[in-house]
Amino acid sequence: MSNATPHTIALGDATLTIINVGDMMVDMAEEIGVPESVWRPLYGADFAGSRPYPSQCLHIALPHASILVDAGDYAQAIALEPSYLPPDYTPPPGIVEQLQSQGIRPEDITHVIITHAHFDHYDGTTIMRDGEYVPRFPHARVSLGRADWDNPETQEALRDPVSLDSHTFGVLHKHGLLEPVDGNWDVTPEVRIIPAPGESPGHQLVRVHSQGQTFYCLGDLFHHPAEVEHPAWMVKWANTTANLSSRQILIKAALQENALLLAAHMSVGRLEGTLENYRWVSL
């Protein structure tokens, strides 16, 4: 099982805290759909069968900002998709409890960045109190890719009062906290939102740069190191053209900047080598 203890990384003036809200069982070979004759010689048993993957959020602490990238609620995610629950598994404390264990209070969060509108990345943005849903991070501006907000599926779900989208994005919009984002957007001088469509129309990355060091929070740009090393391998629901382009842009930047990388369902790592011949190294 994945380590549920928050992990902290110093990056210049920033302190990055990685929070796993809970492991999810996924058969990556089935989700990506690459023939076994192709993946097995390269990755063997590591790529086969249903196995637990973390579901991670990132907190970025700066002297002038407290930023959360994605906000998962494991209990709600498992209720929506019970097949994700590992057998005999006790999930870690919730995202708020884990943040508080690091001295980070929900009311101190200044920004929440949602990498994309897939339920496990935003289902923890609100909470039920006194019979109604309210923002879990009451003072935070919540950034969502405009293409995900404008997506007809999202807009249709918002019209359903019992949908997850109504209970989250709808509530945040009602409270004036939701900000659809177009293109590159600097949240602070150190933190930039970068569009990376493909996993969803409005999928976006978060780049943190401080004192010459760079870190990317990748959302679901990749789900497994095999996708990093073989960018044309991807989940069946992705827009293949857009996703491949987004991956190629990130890979080039990550190599040039020697950046640390965190995808939501992978451990921290970086790329080593050249653009023509590189490999993924987990840290």
Output the pLDDT for position 4: 64
For 43-97, write each residue's pLDDT tens digit: 988 888 999 999 999 999 999 999 999 999 999 999 999 999 999 999 999 999 9
Which of 71, 56, 57 is closest to 119 using CA atoms? 71
Mean per-residue pLDDT of the chain = 96
Residue with tokens 């200044």: 110
Residues 55-69: tens digit of each pLDDT: 999 999 999 999 999
Whether the CB-CB separation of 60 and 8 falls below 8 Å is answered with: no
pLDDT of residue 47: 86
Least confident span in 29-38, 112-121, 168-177: 29-38
Domain boundaries, the chain: 7-282
Average pLDDT of the segment spanning 101-127: 97
Instruction: Say which amino acid occupies 191.
Output: V
For residue 2, pLDDT beyond 50: no
pLDDT the model gives residue 213: 98
Query: Is residue 1 over pLDDT 50?
Result: no
Fold of 7-282: Metallo-beta-lactamase; Chain A (3.60.15)
Does residue 3 have a pLDDT over 60? no
What the block records as the tokens of 283 is 């840290």
pLDDT, mean of residues 208-212: 98
Position 278 pLDDT exceeds 60: yes
Q: What percent of the chain clears pLDDT 90, i.e. is strictly above it?
A: 96
pLDDT for 132 equals 96
pLDDT at 123 over 60: yes
HEC readout, the chain? CCCCCCEEEEECCEEEEEEECCCEEEEHHHHHCCCHHHHHHHHHHHHCCEEEECCEEEEEEECCEEEEECCCCHHHHHHHCHHHCCCCCCCCCCHHHHHHHCCCCHHHCCEEEECCCCHHHCCCCEEEECCEEEECCCCCEEEEEHHHHHCHHHHHHHCCCCCHHHHHHHHHHHCCCEEEECCCEECCCCEEEEECCCCCCCCEEEEEEECCEEEEECCCCCCCHHHHHCCCCCCCCCCHHHHHHHHHHHHHHHHHHCCEEECCCCCCEEEEECCCCEEEEEC
Mean local confidence (pLDDT), 20-36: 94
- pLDDT per residue as tens digits for the range 136-180: 999 999 999 999 999 999 999 999 999 999 999 999 999 999 999
Is pTM beyond 0.85 here?
yes
Which pLDDT band, with edges at 50, 70 and 90, does 238 fall under?
Answer: very high
* Angstrom distance (rounded) from CA 202 to CA 278: 28
pLDDT of 225 over the 70 cut:
yes
In contact, 74 and 4? CB cutoff 8 Å? no
CB 42 within 8 Å of CB 34 = no
